[in-house]
Amino acid sequence: MPRIDFYVLPDHEENGRALLACRLADKAHGLGHTVYLFAESEARAAALDDLLWTFRQDSFVPHERYPLAGEESSPVLVGTVAPAVVEAQVLINLTDSLPEGFERYQRVVELVDQHPDVLAQSRERFRQYRERGCAPETRKL
């Protein structure tokens, strides 16, 4: 079973969860891990793709959209395809539901802010992970 971490932001900023996703993807990549950023929609995936280029001036996170256009894969992928078909070690879930195939990953990261809907959906996913035998941890930022 993967390690499941819920990162809880202290507030609700417009781009808070997306910026945190970029920072965590950058850190995981720096540690040599492959990462899949799982977005709810094409618009959110495109915004994450753009943000990975600009979220920090001194940072470059090699990434590309999934599905891939070519044969070679970047260490960080951004997409809306169910995680069950994507090869990576770390899954960063930016959707509102339990990701299909999360068991295949070494680590799953859930991002939570203080928006009431996000909190409610996160609590539900926390419960679902526990029902599947995982021991999710909460990390307050």
Tell whether the torsion through CA atoms of 87, 88, 92 and 98 is positive or negative. Answer: positive
pLDDT digits (tens, 9 = 90+) for 84-118: 888 899 999 999 999 999 999 999 999 999 999 99
Q: Which domains does the chain have, with CATH numbers?
A: 3-140 (3.40.50.10110)
**Mean pLDDT over residues 9-24, rounded?**
95
User: Structure pTM?
Assistant: 0.95
pLDDT score, position 14: 86
Contact in structure between 108 and 124 (CB atoms under 8 Å):
no
Q: How far apart are CA 7 and CA 93, in angstroms?
A: 11
Q: How far apart are CA 57 and CA 53, in angstroms?
A: 9
Contact in structure between 75 and 131 (CB atoms under 8 Å):
no
**Mean pLDDT over residues 47-59, rounded?**
89
Please name the residue that has the structure tokens 């802010």: 113
What average pLDDT is seen over the chain?
94
Residue 60: is its pLDDT beyond 90?
A: no
